[in-house]
Amino acid sequence: GNSVTQMEGPVTLSEEAFLTINCTYTATGYPSLFWYVQYPGEGLQLLLKATKADDKGSNKGFEATYRKETTSFHLEKGSVQVSDSAVYFCALRIPINTNAGKSTFGDGTTLTVKP
* Residue 43 makes contact with other proteins by CB under 8 A: yes
Amino acid at 87: V
CB of 99 to other proteins, least distance (A): 5
How many Å apart are CA 26 and CA 73, to the nearest integer? 11
Residues 6+ apart with CB under 8 A from 56: 50, 63, 64, 65, 66
CB of 103 to other proteins, least distance (A): 6
Q: Which of 9, 8, 22, 103 is nearest to 67 (CA)?
A: 22
CB of 22 to other proteins, least distance (A): 15
Interacting positions 79-98 with other proteins (CB under 8 A): 89, 91, 93-96, 98
Q: Using CB under 8 A as the criterion, which residues of the chain lie in contact with other proteins when the complex forms?
A: 4, 31-32, 34, 36, 41-46, 49, 51, 89, 91, 93-96, 98-103, 105-108
